[in-house]
Amino acid sequence: MDETSLIKQAFSARKNAYAPYSDFTVGAALLCSDGTLYFGANIENAAYSPSLCAERAAFAKAIGDGQREFSAIAVVGGKAGLGAGQIGLAYPCGVCRQWMAEFCQGDFKIIVAAAEDDFKVYLLKELLPHGFSPQSLF
Ligand code: THU
């Protein structure tokens, strides 16, 4: 699957965000190595700290379904009501990068997009250099 298609899916996932407190809605489309797609949107909570990012929502669904190998994720986010071309790039937070490091290799692709034709592609090892991963324990 190419970057543009994955970004389109992330924009679609963003519609399901539940973000009444920040009014910042995020969508993620996660591509598994076997080609399966999973979607996530941020889910906030009145107690604030239990809120869940879109990326981890997508990973949790995939991992719960038994998926363990991933190739790429597309992430889009911005103020609710602003669409493609109106939002900036929303980079994965540190906790989400750490989740990625648990299940993904350094060459996992992270696509951050403001529109289908306006995006940047990073590798996990670029966004989380010198991270702590399962390999660190051995
Ligand atoms: N958020 C994400 O969904 N992913 C990130 O990587 C960063 C932040 C969400 C959490 C919260 O619901 C809203 O964006 C504002 O921080």
- What is the model's pTM? 0.97
**C-alpha of residue 53 to centroid of ligand 1, in Å:** 5
Write the pLDDT tens digit of every residue in 68-116: 999 999 999 999 999 999 999 999 999 999 999 999 999 999 999 999 9
The tokens of 56 are what? 């981890």
Write the pLDDT tens digit of every residue in 27-57: 999 999 999 999 999 999 999 999 999 999 9
Out of 3, 44, 55, 69, which one is annotated catalytic?
Answer: 55
Active site annotation includes 55: yes
Contact partners, residue 13, CB within 8 Å, separation at least 6: 27, 28, 29, 39, 40, 41, 54, 58
